[in-house]
Copies of this chain bind each other. A is one copy, B any other.
Amino acid sequence: MATLRDVAREAGVSVATASRAINGLGNVTAPTRAAVMAAVKKLNFVPHSGARSLTRKKTDTVGVILPDLFGEFFSEIIRGIDLVAHESGMHLLLGNMHGSTHETAAAIAAMRGRVDGLLVMPPDLKPELLSDYLDPTLPTVLLNYDAGSLDLPFVAVDNYRGAYAMTEALLASGARQVVHIAGPKHNRDARDRQRGFVDAMAKVGGVRNPAILPGDFSEESGAKAARLLVEGQLPADAVFAANDQMAVGLIAGLAEAGKSVPDDIMVAGFDDIPLARHLNPSLSTMQVHIDRLGSTAMMLLLRILRGETLGAASATILTPALVARGTTGGVASAHTPA
Partner among B51, B135, B334 whose Cβ is within 8 Å of the Cβ of A252 = B334
Does A82 count as interface, using CB distance less than 8 angstroms?
Answer: yes
Stretch of A28-36, A94-102, A197-205, A311-319 that contacts chain B: A94-102
Q: Which residues of B are found within 8 Å of A292, using beta-carbon distances?
A: none
In Å, the complex CA distance between A86 and B49 comes to: 23
Does A27 count as interface, using CB distance less than 8 angstroms?
Answer: no
- Chain B's closest residue to A334 (CB) is B252
Count residues on chain A whose CB falls below 8 Å from chain B CBs.
Answer: 49
Does A1 count as interface, using CB distance less than 8 angstroms?
Answer: yes
In Å, the complex CA distance between A135 and B45 comes to: 10
Contact with B along A250-275 (1 / 0, CB 8 A): 00100110000000000000000011
In Å, the complex CA distance between A70 and B92 comes to: 15
Identify the A interface with B (CB < 8 A): 1, 46-54, 59, 61, 69-72, 74-75, 78-79, 82, 86, 91-96, 98, 109-114, 135, 137, 248, 252, 255-256, 274-275, 278-280, 333-335
**A46-B112, A75-B75, A113-B50 as given contacts; A86 in contact with B93, CB under 8 Å:** no
Partner among B50, B86, B112, B335 whose Cβ is within 8 Å of the Cβ of A59 = B50
Q: Can you pick out 16 interface pairs between chain A and chain B where the beta carbons lie within 8 Å of each other? A: A1-B137, A48-B112, A49-B110, A50-B50, A51-B113, A61-B114, A69-B75, A69-B79, A69-B82, A72-B72, A75-B75, A78-B94, A82-B94, A255-B335, A278-B279, A280-B280
